[in-house]
Structure formats: C-alpha cells, structure tokens
Chain A
Amino acid sequence: MNEQPNFSYINQLSGGDLAFEAKLINIIKEELPKEVEQYLWNLNHKKYQLAANDVHKLKHKISIFGLELSYKLANEYENELKAENISKKDEFLEILNAMINFIEEIK
C-alpha cells in the first residue's frame, strides 16, 4: 500500500494551535504502541473477536494519519476477524508498522 501517514488532519484540526497539536501527537505516541501491542497479543492468542475490537479502535488512528486506503482495508479486516478470517493480517501489519515508524521519527 503506497500511502504514507501524514498530519494533514491534525494540522487542520489544530488550526495552527501548536499546543493542541503537540498534545495530540503526544497522545498518539503514547497510545498507539499500546493499542498495537494489545492487538498483536490477541491475534497471536487467536482471540479474534478481541483482535477485531482492537482493529476497530486502531481505525481511528489510521484515519487521523490520513490513510484512506488503509482505513478501507482495516474495515474489511475487522469484519473478517469477526468471522475468524485472518487473511489480511500481513497487510494490516504493514499499516501498523508504517504508523509506528512515523511516530518514532517525530521528536
């Protein structure tokens, strides 16, 4: 998937309010790794319904990073997980890695 995470939504949301922007970025840096970790734990333990809930929550972060195509894939993957189908897990992992790498580059 050739999408790159970006801050266009956050920039638009903050309207130039740098303090608010920093607050949101700090929350993402703190919350995203925990959510990813929880998803991976549930996936690895074959708790697919719980993993589907985790994907649901991660969809918000995906949309905040402006990843429209990834959001669509996450939506499909969430539904598939509910049916215990994990065929899109590698593609979804790529999205997660892209987001994690993106936030790790932010100082």
Chain B
Amino acid sequence: MISGAEIMVRCLQEEGVEIVFGYPGAVICPFFDKLHDTEIKAILVRQEQNAAHAASGYARALSRVGVCVATSGPGALNMITGIATAYMDSIPMVAITGQVRSDVLGRDVFQEADITGACESFVKHSYLVKDTAELPRIFKEAFHIASTGRPGPVLIDVPVDVQEAELESFEYPEKVNIIGYKPSVHGHPMQIKRALEMIAQSRRPVICAGGGVLTSGAKPKLREFSSRTNIPVVSTMMGIGVMPSQSPLYVGMIGSHGTKAANMTVHEADLVILCGARVGDRAVASPDQVAEHANIIHIDIDPAEIGKNMKTTIPIVGDMKNVISQMLKDIDYKAPDEWLDHIHQRQEEYQKEPVRFEGFVEPKSFIAKLSSMLRQKAILIADVGQNQIWCANNFKMSDGRFFTSGGMGTMGYSVPAAVGAKLARPNRDVVAVCGDGSFQMSLNELATIAQNGLNVKIIVMENNVLGMVHELQDIHYNSRYAITELSDVPDFEKLAEAYGIDSVTVSSNEDAEKYAKQMLRSDKPFILICKVHPKTSSR
C-alpha cells in the first residue's frame, strides 16, 4: 500500500525535483514526513511568500520548474503574492498547498481558506484534489502545464485526508492528454515569410526583446539574428541580458524608466520586431510612443498577448527559439549603417554623468562597476524601486543574468529569489541588490541564508527613504513625503551580526568597490550597505 503523501513525493521524484522551498503546518505534515525520507532537499524559508520567490529564483536560474509548498489557510494565503509575482513574469512553478479534510471543506474550519478560488486569476491552472487516485495524473499535468507554452505557476491543493488515504500501487503516467491545452510552438511558415519580406523593406528596424527570449532559451539565436542583420536591439526590463550590454547593437532598456536613446529608437523606427515581449504599460505607456506609421511584427507564444497592448501588422505565434531559428534560415538582410550611426549619435548625445553627492555612494556607476567585477554567467537580482532601475540601466555584462519582479513589482523579491538562485547555481556569483525598504520586507530570509550557509551577497542601498515613491512625491506631490521616510533605519550591521553574517557600511564609491571586490572573493554570505543620498534620482 502507498499513501497519497508518498505518491506526491514519488511524483516529484519522477519530475526530477531536487529542491522544494516550503513551510510546514498541520495539514501538509504527511507530505513533508514522506519527503524527509528522500534525497529531495526541503528548504525551510521564514515566510511562505518567500518560498514562492525562492522557487522563482531557482526556476529562473535553472530553466526548470520551481516547487514551493505551504500549509492550508494562512500558509497558502501568504504564498499568494509570490505566486502572483511568478504569474506576471511567466515563471514555471508548481505550488503545493495542504488543505483541511475534504469532508469538512466549506465549513470554515481552523486554517481553512479557498486557495484555488483565491488564486484563480493568477495561476495558469489549479487543482483541488478530491481523490488520491487522481494525484499522479494531476502532478503530471501540473508540471507539464507549468513548463510548456507560456510558463506559469500551477497550484495543487491537497486535503490532508487525500494525503493519508492509501492506494494499492503507484504508477506515473507517461504522457499527458489535456484536450484544451495544445500550445503552438512553431511559427506559421507563411507568417514568417511575410515577416521576412517586411524586414527586407525596412530602413530603420529595431528588435524589442522581452523576457520570452530568455524563457525559451533563444538568447544565442537572437544575438546571431541581430549581428547578421545589423538590426539594433532594445529590451524590456524582463529582457535585460538578452544582448551583451556593451554590444554596439544594444541600445538599452525602453520604457518609463528606460534610456532615452532606446525610447527614441523605438519612436523613430519604421519597423518594430517585438520578440517575447508583451509591451506592458511600463515598457510602452501609450502606443503612440511608437512611430505612427511603423510596422509591427509581434512574435509571442501566447496568442492573447498579440494585439492586446499594441496593434500588430504581422502576428507570429510560436516559441521564440523556433521562430527565430526559422527566420535565420532565410534571412538575407542588412540594416543600413546610417540607422545604427544615427542611434549611436543619439546614445552619445543623451549620455549624462550621474550626479554625485559628497559622502555618499553614487549607485549607478557603482552597479556598472560591480557588474564588471562579476564572473560570467553571474546572477544579479534587483529588488523593486529605485534600486531596480539603477540595476536595470547599469547592469553591464556580456553574459550575465538579471532577475527582478518585472510585472508585479513585488518588493522583497530579491533576497528570497537569491536563496533559490544560489541553490540552483552554487558555482555562480549571486548578488541581490535592494533598497532599505525592500530589504526590510524579507530580511527574515537572512536566517535561511545563515542556516544553509548560502554564499549570497546582498547589497543594500540605504537612503533612509522609500526612494521610488519619494521621487514620485517630488514630481507630483509637491515634495510632500507622506509615509515614505524610513528615518530610523535599523543598524543593518548589527542585524547582520545577529544572523552571523559579515557586513560593512560604505559611503563612497571607492570603498564600495573595494569591499565589493573583497566580498566577491569570499565564499561566505555578505551584506554590503551603501549609504545613498535620498535625492539620487532613479534615472
């Protein structure tokens, strides 16, 4: 005989899961108890939201499904923000929650919450398991749905009696058969032909690369496409890292917090090729930012994204990697040099020296410097706020990874995501950059870092204010700083010490660079606290 809990664990083994991030509770105990006997590592986080963020960091770093587990009621509810964050950024994730006994479901018993109902609008799919015999099929489907098509989180809610009930034997299905789920991955040849013709006609083309390029593993192909065609590339925040940042073909990030040169390029282009980008409101606030007569080729795996935010001339539904490979086969085009020269001129023209404040770290030049110190394939995780923009625009690597909560903008993402990323890629540099606001949203994970001896580096930009909103208040609210001042920021060094983690506070770029170098050489976690002037702007 085999229990439901053991079946769940066997399913995870069948899926090759090596690590789960979670927090226990009464009704998920059967599962964790069985997991305890296996080689699958269970990482105890300090709050369930961070289990989802850690699973997200893990999933991004390995391009595999991240798994997070919580108990019913408050445990599951805490995880919601993490699940929604993953949904907005299309992260493959399976979230498992314990649920109260199925015979008392709906009676508002202790720690009961309708988590499948609550999560409906930000999971790709969800299951409330009513029968132990259904577990293998559901797990198989969940991992398939989470990782194929446009990836996203799938929730499996398992009542405790379903975990306890026993079956004769366990058999994992080999295939999934979901009639309503057959994502198309190959671009339509006719559409690709039309797209190539349109590219051939263009004089000022630009590629706008989004997160989909990275998700589908199309980065090398896109780089090849750009260099063969001489077509410049701008990226959305989710697409940072698609191009080597120093490449003459890379113009920068677009959007309200992007670079002027990148935005101007999109504005002046006669053809915009959107690649795995959903052109959200932060990337293109209004469609007229794109030239009125520009043609738009939109390549995305999710047909619902095409035409949602921007009118499209040629839609191509398919996996980025496949589509770009298909296009590479037949492309014979070179963008005019004048177009690139013009862009480079613009870039130079818009170049501006960041304002420096005596006695403070200037974060933009520091991030640029820091990224030059990182080893190739390093992972930089920006939190949310000014720190995110400083990182996005100044992360300069030829082959690095940049993670952030792009769609949801969830503060507190970076530290737990770094936990997941480091466990996924123990041999890579993993650096979380946060502000003193976002750091305080998940600093409880320092305990997870310490407990597991994770070599995670954390940079805290301490400016004693909630910088992003503070800046907004300067612009739109007559500098009235309504609840944005963190006047008495705790002594982060003492705090680090309490967790047994080394740290240092610096107030100049020279010191910041010096300690960053030291920090990256050590194999222990470290917190580098940079004093930043509250008037430092995000752009």
Q: Do A and B assemble together?
A: no
- Give B contacts to A, CB under 8 Å: none
- Give A contacts to B, CB under 8 Å: none
